[in-house]
Structure 1
């Protein structure tokens, strides 16, 4: 899941002054031009203040040229305002360059810098800013706080650290670092650069902080993965609004801490002081957390909350609901939500295709993809990844190959490393090992370790030891540290062939380099509560009985010399079921300790919602 920006949470921006001046006038364009051929200067000003559309503005401009009023500074300033209002930047720039005053007022400079900032044309913003600083005129125009606000924002857009530091130095020289507008822009800039120490220094120097100052700093910490500091600032905020909550919750979601997302949502709903309700950004993050945790009941509650409070059913919300239900095993509800969307967009289609792929329904995903093309909705990069995965899991080699080789010609999407990885996985799963290797060798970009691991995984499935050994040697040359994930795949391949000596060899080599497998973890939802359990001994309060039983069984396994994980798991289950037949927690321990989500007939075990056990040898 891509990381949620707090600016998109509620179209929030740093507070900026309105440079446009609006006046009400009874004069209308049609009345003036019908009654009089000659329009006075005062009437022209009134018409310009009404912000006329493009066609009328051109006629007014022609009248100004006819009456030789183009040398009047106030008229030209109003024309620049009007052209920028209708996004005619070229005409505004021409008037600016031929301004009757050799040194236009700072308001006009700010307007021009601001428009290029909004267009994210940082080079033009910097060019104008340099011209302003280098003006050689008796009446020198100096940049003000609004000028620095816009130019600092341009530095953030361009991600130019050097320019940002130079502008910050000019801000300090002009004594504007404690200004609210400039300070908020600087905090945001350093947050983009992920330099949170400097962001905090600027925050500390702002005299009168507002909610945007606090929220900008929290966003910076969250973007940098410093959630402890983000929470510390969050709880120090004198006033929190829905955007502040959206920032902290999206921060947890972006850093993969999905349990905290639901905890903070619960805290937000119970907050008496703030008196805020979750906005769309918060609910989308919460649904994403439920999807990744497999917390179906929590997701159902959020869906009911959306309906109960009549929250607008936007494209983002529909996409999040489809994703949540698909990942929680209810692909039928996901389809129902998708079919009720009047005009699905590319994100809705992509979410549905990915959900069907997740369930191995490649044929259905292909049907949705064709429906998407019939609706004249072009796929994006993520859609293609979803389709390649769907074809891979369903063995649709011909269809997947057609999509892969035509994605650039038909939809203008150049294959990236992720697309190559999916296609190599598709060929490898189907047994086309040589063809997959040929694709890797002929890639227009350098293959990374993920590509080679996909090929190695195919070697494990089809027990191709010779090619597997060649790939692992090549991977070790790419990464001298020895990637544990690749070696675990090789270990699993040897284990599937019963070659335990080679398994021991690989594991010993990993131990000598002190490389470790990723820690397996599971989330189980019991009685509307999501519980986390990890095989490194971490547990929460509801996992305590499971933890105690597992530790007790470890002692028994040593005494009985239960080397086989299957035998040990069966022994653990018999012991647990005989002693705690009525306990839901203990019955769930079986699925946790076996590391498999296969259902057991005859027993009412809690649903195993999600398991991540990468790095375990077979």
Structure 2
């Protein structure tokens, strides 16, 4: 009878723990387990392990409570260790913390052998630390304990090496896998993309027999961010006509495609994506709407960008900044400034990118006083210390206005070393106002900074040509020839005609890069 009562109580408490919804309930159950005299010691530690599991897995759990209970457990099991390692690897936001590794070492010291659940979470922690030293040591343990063929562990190793920048080791792990799932393929493709190995990623992508939305989003986003937006749009077209009913564009797909359209100036393609959003029933949230504003702005359709912006209900700083940038890059500096004032009225706090857009708009519109005001306000009113890009914009404003003394004074007083963009802005002003003396000085300084950059030699030649110093032009050209410096990338531009994006190059005829996206 006593045995039946003990089992019944144990099952009841286990069921209560299974259905527990709050720490208050959990503490009541824990108190009952602690005070009850009907349990065997094994029963009590089984229920304690379930308490730790709740604390480490449930959204309403408490990791600190789990730590306190864990310290009181005399004989810890693999299940308990895995729960604690998982919790610390998943919830700790401090990348410098070593708690998962400490728990792992303590587990080994207690003579407990890790399993296929232990390693993915230990490796996940190494990924969060971007730890290229400890990670390989854990890999050695994976081999030592015989889990080098486990697909979940191998996927974690691929992610580890990719995140640490060792894409060759990630590829080696992938190539040695006897069994691969779609996560394996996605992991190595994403790893290649993150490490700028776009061609390797494409080769692996073409070999994939099964693709999901993560695959498509990864390859599209990776090629956009890798500076190959034309191919990104081609992948989107391929995704549309693939015939896979299980794969359809989501918000990440749309945002990436809009970014590609923005990079290419492909406004017709962007309009089609906008129409697709309206007809598909997909919710146009803040991220998508901001991407639309950015796309229309970069494609020169400021009025359409403004329509989308005005239709947004709750605008965050990214949305305001995107609209500011749309005005700025299209030479509407005064409208950008007025929008900034509206942003202040709306109570949205600008960030450093906001001021970059604003100052850029002032430069393109010749708004000197407004530019000076913005530069002061960002520091004194918003406590945003100007970064090098803000100084570059301010030098650009002053250089375009011919205020070279003020521009040089600003550069001398910079708290950081001026980069090529700061000096380049000053050089552009010198070329605009035919300030040959200062222009020559700046151009030669830039050549000293980046002696293999052909653009600075060309700029110096331009200055000498305008000053009719043709002997110096020949001298610079001879120097370029001697150093074998030439413009390796031909000048080119893209234009969209009836949904077809074409590239025009100085070294060839127009080339069609992408066919019109088919509407589905």
Shorter chain as normaliser: what TM range?
A: 0.7 to 0.9
- Decide whether the 8 Å contact of 1:461 with 1:493 is kept in 2: no
Report the counterpart of residue 481 of structure 2 in structure 1.
511
- Decide whether the 8 Å contact of 2:230 with 2:513 is kept in 1: no
Q: Say whether 1:488 aligns with 2:458.
A: yes
Q: TM-score, normalised by structure 2?
A: 0.87
CA deviation map 1:411-448 (0-9, x unaligned): 45333222222222222223332222222222222222
Alignment of 1:342-357 (within 5 A): 342-357=313-328
3-state SS in 1 of match to 2:72: coil
Report the counterpart of residue 404 of structure 2 in structure 1.
433
1:199 shift after superposition = 1.4
- Decide whether the 8 Å contact of 1:120 with 1:154 is kept in 2: no
Q: Say whether 1:100 aligns with 2:69.
A: no
Q: Are residues 99 and 363 of structure 1, via their aligned partners in 2, closer, same or farther at CA, if it must alter by over 3 Å?
A: same
1:523 shift after superposition = 0.8
3-state SS in 1 of match to 2:501: strand
Q: Say whether 1:110 aligns with 2:110.
A: no
1:251 shift after superposition = 1.9
Report the counterpart of residue 596 of structure 1 in structure 2.
none
CA deviation map 1:315-359 (0-9, x unaligned): 221111111111222110110000000011122111111111011
- Equivalent-residue separation in structure 2 for 1:360 and 1:541 (angstroms): 30
Q: Say whether 1:53 aligns with 2:25.
A: no
Unmatched segments (≥5 aa) in structure 1: 1-39, 544-618
Q: Say whether 1:535 aligns with 2:506.
A: yes
Q: Are residues 56 and 338 of structure 1, via their aligned partners in 2, closer, same or farther at CA, if it must alter by over 3 Å?
A: same
- Decide whether the 8 Å contact of 2:464 with 2:470 is kept in 1: yes
Report the counterpart of residue 415 of structure 2 in structure 1.
444
Q: Say whether 1:129 aligns with 2:129.
A: no
1:87 shift after superposition = 5.7
1:498 shift after superposition = 4.6
Report the counterpart of residue 141 of structure 1 in structure 2.
112
Alignment of 1:214-363 (within 5 A): 214-273=185-244, 276-363=247-334
3-state SS in 2 of match to 1:405: helix
Q: Are residues 275 and 401 of structure 1, via their aligned partners in 2, closer, same or farther at CA, if it must alter by over 3 Å?
A: same
CA deviation map 1:104-135 (0-9, x unaligned): 222332233223322343443x4442443355
Q: Say whether 1:525 aligns with 2:496.
A: yes
Q: Are residues 78 and 439 of structure 1, via their aligned partners in 2, closer, same or farther at CA, if it must alter by over 3 Å?
A: farther
3-state SS in 1 of match to 2:133: helix
- Equivalent-residue separation in structure 1 for 2:288 and 2:93 (angstroms): 28
Return the match for 1:91 from 60, 65, 72. 65
- Equivalent-residue separation in structure 1 for 2:173 and 2:201 (angstroms): 16
Q: Are residues 397 and 74 of structure 1, via their aligned partners in 2, closer, same or farther at CA, if it must alter by over 3 Å?
A: farther
3-state SS in 2 of match to 1:383: helix
1:46 shift after superposition = 4.4
CA deviation map 1:226-258 (0-9, x unaligned): 333222211221211122111111122111112
Q: Say whether 1:379 aligns with 2:386.
A: no
1:51 shift after superposition = 3.5
Report the counterpart of residue 4 of structure 2 in structure 1.
none
Q: Are residues 80 and 425 of structure 1, via their aligned partners in 2, closer, same or farther at CA, if it must alter by over 3 Å?
A: farther
CA RMSD of aligned residues (A): 2.8
Q: TM-score, normalised by structure 1?
A: 0.74
1:305 shift after superposition = 1.4
Unmatched segments (≥5 aa) in structure 2: 1-8, 515-520
1:507 shift after superposition = 2.9
1:189 shift after superposition = 1.7
- Decide whether the 8 Å contact of 1:80 with 1:92 is kept in 2: yes
Q: Are residues 288 and 255 of structure 1, via their aligned partners in 2, closer, same or farther at CA, if it must alter by over 3 Å?
A: same
Q: Are residues 87 and 360 of structure 1, via their aligned partners in 2, closer, same or farther at CA, if it must alter by over 3 Å?
A: farther
- Equivalent-residue separation in structure 2 for 1:389 and 1:225 (angstroms): 29
- Equivalent-residue separation in structure 2 for 1:394 and 1:116 (angstroms): 53
- Equivalent-residue separation in structure 2 for 1:442 and 1:251 (angstroms): 39
1:453 shift after superposition = 1.5
Give the count of matched residue pairs: 498
Q: Are residues 41 and 441 of structure 1, via their aligned partners in 2, closer, same or farther at CA, if it must alter by over 3 Å?
A: farther
1:151 shift after superposition = 1.7
